Each structure stands twice: as structure tokens, then as C-alpha cells.
Amino acid sequence: MKRIADEVLDLRGVACPANSARALLRLESMASGHILEAIVDDGEPIELLPRALDQEGHELVARKRDGSHWRLWIKAK
């Protein structure tokens, strides 16, 4: 199933917590209900970003492992 995002944010190579901060800033600038596709590294980023999204009220719609990184589809609050 192909997912279509309104915006894509490539955060590969961006360390924590900067990757969460960048994702949250982008989501705050998006219209409510729009989808951001965030690409993050395995390890700490995939563990911490979903928690930060939840704390800020954004919805993690789906996630998929893609090689050595993850693709997250996030609905802006």
C-alpha cells in the first residue's frame, strides 16, 4: 500500500533530540489533519520520536522499516 504524505522530512543522520524538535516544528506549521512522512534512523530516533509526537498531540498513523531507517506517517493535530 502506497501512502501519500503532504510533506516529507528526511531526518536520517540527525541526532536526538534535534530530530524530534525538527519534526515537531514542521508539524506545527502544517494544517490540522495533514500527513508528514518523517524518515528517521533505527535505534534511539525510532524509540523517542513516537513518544514526543504523542506528548504533543500528533497521531502516528503508520510506521514501516525501510532498510536501516524507518518511515513514519504522522497526522498533524
Mean pLDDT by 10 residues, the chain (77 residues): 84 95 97 97 95 96 95 97
Buried b (16+ CB within 10 A) or exposed e, 24-57: bebbeebeeeebbbbbbbeeebbeebbebbeeee
Tell whether 2 is covered by a domain: no
CB 45, CB 13: distance < 8 Å: no
What global pTM score does this model have? 0.92
Report the CATH number at residue 66: 3.30.110.40
Q: Catalytic pick from 16, 39, 48, 52?
A: 16
Distance CA 21, CA 18 (A): 5
**Residues 60/5/41/10 CA torsion (nearest 10 deg):** -140
pLDDT value at position 3?
Answer: 65
Is 16 tagged catalytic?
yes
Domain count of the chain? 1
- Domain span including residue 61: 7-75
CB 77, CB 36: distance < 8 Å: no
Tell whether 29 is covered by a domain: yes
Tell whether 62 is covered by a domain: yes
